[in-house]
A and B are shown apart, each in its own frame.
Chain A
Amino acid sequence: MNKTNGHNNEAILSLANNLRWEIGESFHDKLMESIFANATTIAQKSVTTPIEKPTFSFDRALDRIVTSPVLGFPMMFLILAVIFWLTIEGANVPSAMLASLLIDTFHPILKDFSLTIGLPWWLGGVLIDGAYLAGAWVISVMLPPMAIFFPLFTLLEDFGYLPRVAFNMDNLYRRAGAHGKQALTMAMGFGCNAAGVVAARVIDSPRERIIAIITNNFSLCNGRWPTQILIATIFIGGAVPAHLAGLVSAGAVVGIAVLGIVFSLVVSWALSRTVLKGEASAFSLELPPYRPPRVLRTLYTSLIDRTLIVLWRAVIFAIPAGIVIWLVSNITVGGESIAEIFINWVDPVSLIIGLNGVIILAYIIAIPANEIVIPTILMLTVLVTSMAGVGSGDGVMFELDSVTATEDILMAGGWTLLTGINLMLFSLLHNPCSTTIYTIYRETKSVKWTVVSTLLPVVMGIAVCFFLTQIWRLVVGN
């Protein structure tokens, strides 16, 4: 059929050519014009619109505020701050309850049970003090904040606020040579970087999509807030008068989050001018009408689709990490545990960047899930400073009942205000967790970009901590 038609086909093409020539370049415009004209005629016959549009003016009035050049950004930070605050405040009590249930109640029961059935001490240690505790920690630290943050964020999304954020941020990202929609993926990253990386699919251009994926890690994720909040409370809140402590430490956390946005802009700018050169592509962003959010449906989808899936992945990754923590603190070489040997070895180097060996080891062990950084740091500190009377034995992750007790341990470990600030910065600027690294690989299918996204933030974190420490020591002299 193809062959017999060959001649005909040529005739069609040349006819098309001639006709195209006759109509001229305006073909597309003329075609669109007639489609528009037809649509108008049809619509006019069946649609009756009121002369006044009362509800439209509500949308417009709201848009005038949330996308205004003056109020847009403050509103954005305020809304984010309120969501963070609700998450932080709301998660405290259920977190403590979960921790007391899973760690204070179930853990001893499991320990006793393992003794009763005569499990070898090392097997009981690996399974119960390692794997079980790591999983329990991730659930009690991660589940409550996510169960509050994701529904709140999804409600905001359902209401129609996200396109306004993109509208506000678009210009900044465009000037940085990235896609305006990166503002959306950045916002998703505040919940979970892995989710933010997946969300980068909305960006068509591969170049801009990779920029969005690499810089997503600069959005402070759920797993890193507990670290930020605890350290800010102890060291920054502790450095100011008591009545200002809460406000100042909350401000410090928001400050770190904003710093993350600044870093994402700077890195996007640098990437789009070096390895990922190109023009920012234009896109049209339609601001949808505000819609009353469907609360129940939102709760369901955000709890089932987001919270539980993200939590499940974190638990999967945390369990082997718990085993590793138990092993490195219990396997000894020449009287010292592997953990202690490593800490003593990296301590001198890490002091140059204002951190310490414990923090470095904790970050290496906690690559799978950032949530377990603080428990790991505390446990390792106790191990090294050999404080008597705290914790429940070598290689057991625990969290102390009060902030003061935590502070005592950290002070005993030689921590200063500088260590605290550096830990906050390093928590913002370090490699993504393994879930995110895996997601980056799945989305980019490229080892190269996965490695870049993993190492770039670490290098930046080390550099920033190094310079801050040197300047600090010059100025403060400590």
Chain B
Amino acid sequence: MNNRMMKMIDANKCTACPVHNVGNLKKLGINMKNYDYVVALAGNPNTGKSTVFNNLTGLKQHTGNWPGKTVTRAEGGFEYNSSKFKLVDLPGTYSLLSTSTDEQVARDFILFGQPDVTVVVVDSTRLERNLNLVLQVLEITDRAVLCLNLMDEAKRNNIKIDERQLTKDLGIPVIPTEARQSVGMQDLINAIFEVASGKFVCKPYRFKSKSKELNYAIEKLSQEIKEAFPDIPNATWVALRLLEGDQSIIEAVGTGELGNIKQVNTSLEEIKLKVESI
């Protein structure tokens, strides 16, 4: 009897708590008109991005346990706390520093599509390797959420992750989830909402190199870029690409196109169309 009472009280508490208020979420499917925020889903291949996507939008994108299942961008929408979100499921990538076309779609979208929030979905059982991509994403954008997916598998393998420590280190919300079982989705949506609305201000980790000359070069160059293009949020990233000799970024800087994000955006739409039509 007592136990039952306790349970009832607990249940009441849960429903009263805004975090668990499931009624707030409205899955909008492909109806994404008049959205307030754009959310990108990035991550290594086969970490469950499409499963997260289906959970949030109510769509039934085909999911499969093999890397490279998502071949084009998928888009969908959801509504939470009376804000409308457009969700973009990007192809999985190991890195944003290479030149292959599928990775380019993801990189260009995060860089120039200017999503309001980028959710990086990672495989909790392979966190260290997945963090490489997270760190690269954090160089591009300062509004991100880390989704520690596949926590069920991590538990099965006795892997423990201290998500508070991780939040502190990375400076972004870290949400453990089991997307296949729809566990943690409410927390994820809440985190997305908080970052999008500015309630949570990210202080993204910026990586430091052991090599002094590398640090000096990046520092010096990004300083110059910031002066020339005060509007762009990711000067460090542009500096990295210039040092790497990325031809498209060199051109964008040379012609001054980089300062005109909208212009870059349209040319990127064309690139994306090309990629999708191949």
**Same complex origin of A and B:** yes
Binding site for B on A (CB under 8 A): 1-3, 5-6, 8-13, 15-16, 19-20, 22-23, 27-28, 30-40, 42-50, 53, 55-56, 154, 157-160, 162-163, 166, 181, 184, 201-202, 204, 206, 209, 284-286, 288-289, 291, 294, 300-301, 304-305, 445
Judged by a CB distance under 8 angstroms, whether B16 is at the interface is no
A22→B67 contact, CB < 8 A:
no
Binding site for A on B (CB under 8 A): 45-46, 60, 62-69, 71-72, 94-95, 97, 100-102, 125, 127-129, 131-132, 134-136, 153, 156-163, 165-166, 169-170, 180, 205, 207-211, 213-214, 217, 220-221, 224-225, 227-229, 239-240, 242-245, 250, 253-257, 259-260, 277-278
B153→A43 contact, CB < 8 A:
no
B260→A2 contact, CB < 8 A:
yes
With beta carbons under 8 angstroms apart, the residue of B166, B217, B224 that contacts A12 is B224
CA gap between A6 and B176 in the complex, in Å: 47
B160→A42 contact, CB < 8 A:
no
CA gap between A218 and B221 in the complex, in Å: 55
Q: Which residues of B contact A3 (CB under 8 A)?
A: 256
Minimum CB–CB distance for B194 against chain A, Å: 21
A1→B259 contact, CB < 8 A:
yes
With contact pairs A53-B157, A206-B278 given, residues A16 and B131 touching in the complex (Cβ less than 8 Å): no
Q: Top 3 nearest A-B pairs by Cβ distance?
A: A2-B256, A34-B209, A39-B131
Q: Residue on A with the closest CB to B224?
A: A12
A288→B60 contact, CB < 8 A:
no
B214→A42 contact, CB < 8 A:
no
With beta carbons under 8 angstroms apart, the residue of B60, B68, B208, B277 that contacts A202 is B68
Q: Residue on A with the closest CB to B129?
A: A39
With beta carbons under 8 angstroms apart, the residue of A10, A16, A49 that contacts B221 is A16
**Which among B95, B100, B243 has the highest number of chain A CB atoms within 10 Å?**
B243
Q: Residue on A with the closest CB to B67?
A: A286
With contact pairs A30-B209, A47-B161, A202-B68 given, residues A294 and B180 touching in the complex (Cβ less than 8 Å): yes
A/B interface sample: 18 pairs, CB < 8 A: A5-B229, A9-B253, A11-B224, A13-B242, A16-B250, A19-B243, A22-B213, A27-B243, A32-B97, A34-B211, A34-B214, A42-B131, A46-B161, A49-B158, A55-B156, A206-B278, A301-B62, A305-B60
Number of A-B contacts (CB under 8 A): 189
B67→A163 contact, CB < 8 A:
yes
Minimum CB–CB distance for A65 against chain B, Å: 18
With contact pairs A2-B260, A31-B214, A39-B131 given, residues A158 and B250 touching in the complex (Cβ less than 8 Å): no
CA gap between A35 and B221 in the complex, in Å: 19
CA gap between A445 and B278 in the complex, in Å: 9
Minimum CB–CB distance for A173 against chain B, Å: 16
Given A5-B228, A42-B205, A163-B65, 4 extra CB contacts under 8 A: A15-B221, A50-B159, A201-B72, A305-B62
**Which among B45, B68, B160 has the highest number of chain A CB atoms within 10 Å?**
B68
**Which among B65, B135, B207, B250 has the highest number of chain A CB atoms within 10 Å?**
B65
A31→B71 contact, CB < 8 A:
no
CA gap between A284 and B44 in the complex, in Å: 13
B254→A50 contact, CB < 8 A:
no
CA gap between A27 and B243 in the complex, in Å: 8
B135→A204 contact, CB < 8 A:
no
A19→B207 contact, CB < 8 A:
no
With beta carbons under 8 angstroms apart, the residue of B72, B129, B160, B240 that contacts A31 is B240
CA gap between A291 and B65 in the complex, in Å: 8
Q: Which residues of B contact A301 (CB under 8 A)?
A: 60, 62-63
Minimum CB–CB distance for A97 against chain B, Å: 29
CA gap between A333 and B257 in the complex, in Å: 72
Q: Which residues of B contact A288 (CB under 8 A)?
A: 46, 65-67
CA gap between A35 and B132 in the complex, in Å: 6
Q: Which residues of A contact B97 (CB under 8 A)?
A: 28, 31-32
Q: Which residues of A contact B94 (CB under 8 A)?
A: 284
With contact pairs A206-B278, A286-B46, A288-B65 given, residues A19 and B217 touching in the complex (Cβ less than 8 Å): yes
B157→A46 contact, CB < 8 A:
no
CA gap between A36 and B68 in the complex, in Å: 23
A28→B128 contact, CB < 8 A:
no
A157→B132 contact, CB < 8 A:
no
Q: Which residues of A contact B255 (CB under 8 A)?
A: 2, 9
With contact pairs A43-B131, A204-B102, A289-B125 given, residues A160 and B66 touching in the complex (Cβ less than 8 Å): yes
Q: Which residues of A contact B245 (CB under 8 A)?
A: 20
CA gap between A343 and B174 in the complex, in Å: 71
CA gap between A55 and B153 in the complex, in Å: 10
B256→A1 contact, CB < 8 A:
yes
B159→A181 contact, CB < 8 A:
no
CA gap between A23 and B209 in the complex, in Å: 13
Q: Which residues of A contact B210 (CB under 8 A)?
A: 33-34, 37
Q: Residue on A with the closest CB to B181?
A: A294
With contact pairs A31-B209, A34-B209 given, residues A42 and B169 touching in the complex (Cβ less than 8 Å): yes
B224→A13 contact, CB < 8 A:
no
**Which among B67, B102, B250, B257 has the highest number of chain A CB atoms within 10 Å?**
B67
Q: Which residues of A contact B163 (CB under 8 A)?
A: 46
CA gap between A1 and B229 in the complex, in Å: 10
With contact pairs A27-B243, A31-B97, A291-B153 given, residues A47 and B221 touching in the complex (Cβ less than 8 Å): no
Q: Which residues of A contact B45 (CB under 8 A)?
A: 286
With beta carbons under 8 angstroms apart, the residue of B66, B132, B165, B243 that contacts A46 is B165
Minimum CB–CB distance for B174 against chain A, Å: 9
CA gap between A27 and B214 in the complex, in Å: 8
Minimum CB–CB distance for B71 against chain A, Å: 4
Minimum CB–CB distance for B105 against chain A, Å: 11
B128→A39 contact, CB < 8 A:
yes
A23→B214 contact, CB < 8 A:
yes
Minimum CB–CB distance for B94 against chain A, Å: 8
